[in-house]
């Protein structure tokens, strides 16, 4: 995951993403995460947490696409926007603060590309880590409600 963040290149402002391919926008999303100094461990934790939540919920969607998109949504939120602030001078001699906040759309192929890239790195850990995560969760919080419904 460190390599994925380090090799992402330069982050573009969110206002400049229109018209770029999904793969390029996904790469820029990783660059934004890198610029925000989001640790690679956090992205791994997000992916494993999503995998554990889906596995533990008997009523959840079980498709790979659902898992990678949900993990990508959570990762994308960590550093998705571009924020600019400046002051504009008016004739009365006062500074008027101006802000612009732009967020890239979190949907479609971009999320699939982000999730697939995360999955390539983390999938080898899922088989070992997810049962442990679920075990710890059950010890601390009890069974998921879908387990109780299935037992009845």
Query: Is the pTM higher than 0.75?
Result: yes
Number of domains in the chain: 1
Q: Distance between CA 149 and CA 152 in Å, rounded?
A: 5
Instruction: Encode pLDDT of 1-49 as tens digits.
Output: 888 899 998 888 887 888 889 999 999 999 999 999 999 999 999 999 9
- Range of 122's domain? 2-151
pLDDT of residue 152: 57
Q: Which two tokens mark 41?
A: 């461990």
User: Residue 96: is it exposed, middle or buried by C-beta count within 10 angstroms (0-12/13-18/19+)?
Assistant: exposed
Tell me the two tokens of residue 24.
Answer: 């390029």
In angstroms, the CA 22 to CA 44 distance is 22
Is pLDDT at 113 greater than 70 in this prediction?
yes
- Spatial contact of 113 and 8, defined as CB atoms under 8 Å apart: no
Is the confidence at residue 66, as pLDDT, over 60?
yes
The string of DSSP codes covering the chain is: -HHHHHTS-PPPPGGG-TT--HHHHHHHHHHHHHHTT--HHHHHHHHHHHHHHHHH-TTS---HHHHHHHHHHHHHHTT--EEEEEEEE-TTS-EEEEEEEE-----THHHHHHHHHHHHHHHHHHHHHHHHHHHHHHHHH---HHHHHHH-
Q: Supply the angle between the helices 40-56 and 109-141 in degrees, to the nearest 10.
A: 70
């Amino acid at each position: 995951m460190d390599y994925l963040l380090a090799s992402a290149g330069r982050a573009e402002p969110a206002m400049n993403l229109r018209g770029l391919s999904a793969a390029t926008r996904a790469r820029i999303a990783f660059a934004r995460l890198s610029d925000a100094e989001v640790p690679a461990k956090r992205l791994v934790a997000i992916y494993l947490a999503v995998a554990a939540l889906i596995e533990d919920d008997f009523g959840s969607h079980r498709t790979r696409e659902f898992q990678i998109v949900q993990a990508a949504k959570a990762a994308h939120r960590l550093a998705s926007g571009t924020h600019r602030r400046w002051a504009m001078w008016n004739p009365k001699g006062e500074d008027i603060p101006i802000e612009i906040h732009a967020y890239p759309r979190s949907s479609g192929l971009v999320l699939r590309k982000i999730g697939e890239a995360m999955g390539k790195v983390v999938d080898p850990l899922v088989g070992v880590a997810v049962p442990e995560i679920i075990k710890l969760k059950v010890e601390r919080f009890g069974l998921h409600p879908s387990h109780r419904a299935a037992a009845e």
